[in-house]
Chains A and B, each alone.
Chain A
């Protein structure tokens, strides 16, 4: 056997985003021996751009970092600014932030599962998953006027409010989609074809997950609880009840199941926040100048822990601002997941970490 390398990418591996795999096959020519990845195709220098904009303008820039986690970026950024300025938010805003975040999480998880169905060529399942997601896309469009970038957060609160009619429509959507999600769970728990296709693929063990510091559903599928909503609660999460979904096998199937069960948990959170939401302002009435200081904030994005660091110097532009997205931590785990799997499964394993390349490279 010669030492031919298999090159996948840089375009169209699983999604439309560019990543470049250099795979060295085992002597059988079918399975992976080692994998190397080359990144940086969509590095745009956003961390430099944000230093040239003021704090309100950066709400827009941060929302554009990533499409699928687009709500979490301005959300976490606002939390950092609010910490520095010492703002305490109206109660209602904290609950509304949870609502925006959980609706976004459900849509994001369904999208990832739809892609998984696409990659195993199960078009019927893909259609069902993406149709279910469509209900949440419609919901987002009805509430925020937009299907991806919600522009829900602002410094000191949120930019939207929910009246009784909208609350009723959210609950209706949840009630209608819940049986569908339960049916998907039953399918992933019992369908022999799905289970044999997905189990044992791309395994990341507990010890490796700890060592690599992976986050989000990737960590939880390997039994590591890194859920920021529980470990370091923010917004209204400390007052809400939900369970952290953990699985032990660490394979593609476990990661899919974590996402499916988390959708049910998100629905629980949505019902609770919609019921418990107090009346009152949704945003602080006055704008504050941002004093000198520094802060770190983090949230649980659909893909895992998102961290923002902000340093200010008394002017109305950041002195330094840096963030780290979940995929940044999970990417290196591919080098553990991929060896000894079939080369055909590269895209499937890659998709199972729910990669977001444009926000990883910024």
Chain B
């Protein structure tokens, strides 16, 4: 793990990024505000056989802060990206492991993921609008499996079309 620390430090210094390891030495934190740098870093990590563990987002005033969590040989690399225009390029073409977590970003925070190969909703029904984290929905209307009069009517209507 020591050699990896040294290697990461050298690489990141070459890229002129402000990064630091946390006290335990098992996670690295970097802050960037340029989406191209994110793609560059992602490409670099991809060649090092990293994988995406998770992507977190939260709202900071009008901007969003995203944190990309990559695992590289037991070290968690956390890359923080500040975005102001609610859109971010997809890293799923590089990392298949980012597929679900990027789709979740768009349904919970309404962040547009550019160039995602499979931009379908992940968990929430199409009828629910984007960016729902802070809103209240009753459980039965939030789930895809909602069973309500409205759904039943839809089923009956479709049956009518099929059976004439």
CB pair B54 A309 closer than 8 Å? yes
In the complex, A48→B54 CA distance in Å?
17
Task: Collect the chain B residues with CB atoms within 8 Å of residue A39's CB.
Answer: 122-123, 144
Contact of B22 among A295, A323, A329 (CB under 8 A): A295
Q: Once bound together, how far apart are the Cα atoms of A211 and B92, in whole Å?
A: 11
CB contact under 8 A between A332 and B122, given known A43-B142, A231-B73, A320-B56: no
* B54/A322 in contact, CB under 8 A: yes
Chain A residue nearest to B139 (CB atoms) is: A44
Chain B 12-39 interface residues, beta-carbon cutoff 8 Å to A: 22-24, 26-27
Residues A199-231 near B (CB distance < 8 A): 210-213, 228, 231
CB neighbours of A320 from chain B (8 A): 56, 58
- A296 at interface (Cβ–Cβ under 8 A)? yes
Q: Within the assembled complex, what's the spacing in Å between the Cα atoms of A296 and B21?
A: 12
B144 near A296: Cβ-Cβ < 8 Å: no
A10 and B22: CB pair below 8 A?
A: no
Q: Is A47 an interface residue (CB 8 A)?
A: yes
* Per-position binary interface string of chain B over residues 32-54, scored 1 when its CB falls under 8 Å from any chain A CB and 0 otherwise: 00000000000000000101111
Interface positions, chain B 48-89, Cβ under 8 Å from A, are 49, 51-54, 56, 58, 67, 69, 71, 73-76, 78
Q: How far is the CA of A117 from the CA of B69 in the complex (A)?
A: 37
Contact mask for chain B residues 119-140; partner A; CB cutoff 8 A; 1 contact, 0 none: 0011111000000111001010
Which A residues, 267 to 324, have Cβ-Cβ distances below 8 Å to chain B?
Answer: 295-296, 298, 305, 307, 309, 311, 319-320, 322-324
Complexed CA–CA distance, A158 and B115 (Å): 46
Interface bits A322-345 vs B (CB < 8 Å: 1, else 0): 111000110110000000000000
A83→B29 CA distance, assembly (Å): 14
CB closest residue in chain B, given A36:
B120
Given contacts A40-B124, A332-B99, contact A48 B53 (CB under 8 A): no
- Interchain CB contact under 8 A, B125 and A328: no
Q: How near does chain A come to B54, taking the closest CB pair, in angstroms?
A: 4
Q: B157: shortest Cβ distance to chain A, in Å?
A: 20
Interface residue count on the B side (C-beta < 8 Å): 41
Of B26, B76, B100, the contact of A328 (CB 8 Å cutoff): B100
Q: Are A309 and B69 in contact, with the CB atoms below 8 A?
A: yes
Task: Choose among A40, A44, A309 the residue that contacts B122 (Cβ–Cβ < 8 A).
Answer: A40
Given contacts A43-B143, A45-B142, A319-B58, contact A213 B95 (CB under 8 A): yes
Q: Provide the residues of chain A in CB contact with B78, threshold 8 Å.
A: 296
B164 contacts the other chain (CB 8 A): no
Collect the chain B residues with CB atoms within 8 Å of residue A45's CB: 132-133, 137, 142
CA distance in complex: A319, B142 (Å): 23
CA distance A44 to B137 in the complex (A): 9
Within the complex, the shortest CB–CB distance from A218 to chain B, in Å, comes to 13
A265 beta carbon closer than 8 Å to chain B: no
* B9: Cβ under 8 A from any A Cβ: no
Contacting pair B122 A296 (CB below 8 A): no
A41's nearest neighbour on chain B, judged by CB, is B145
- The 8 A-B pairs at the shortest CB distance, nearest first, are namely A213-B97, A231-B74, A40-B123, A213-B51, A41-B145, A320-B58, A40-B144, A324-B54
28 interchain pairs, CB-CB under 8 A = A18-B145, A41-B144, A41-B145, A43-B124, A43-B143, A43-B144, A45-B132, A45-B137, A47-B108, A83-B24, A211-B97, A212-B96, A213-B51, A213-B95, A231-B73, A232-B26, A232-B76, A295-B22, A296-B27, A296-B69, A296-B76, A305-B53, A322-B56, A323-B54, A328-B100, A329-B97, A332-B96, A361-B123
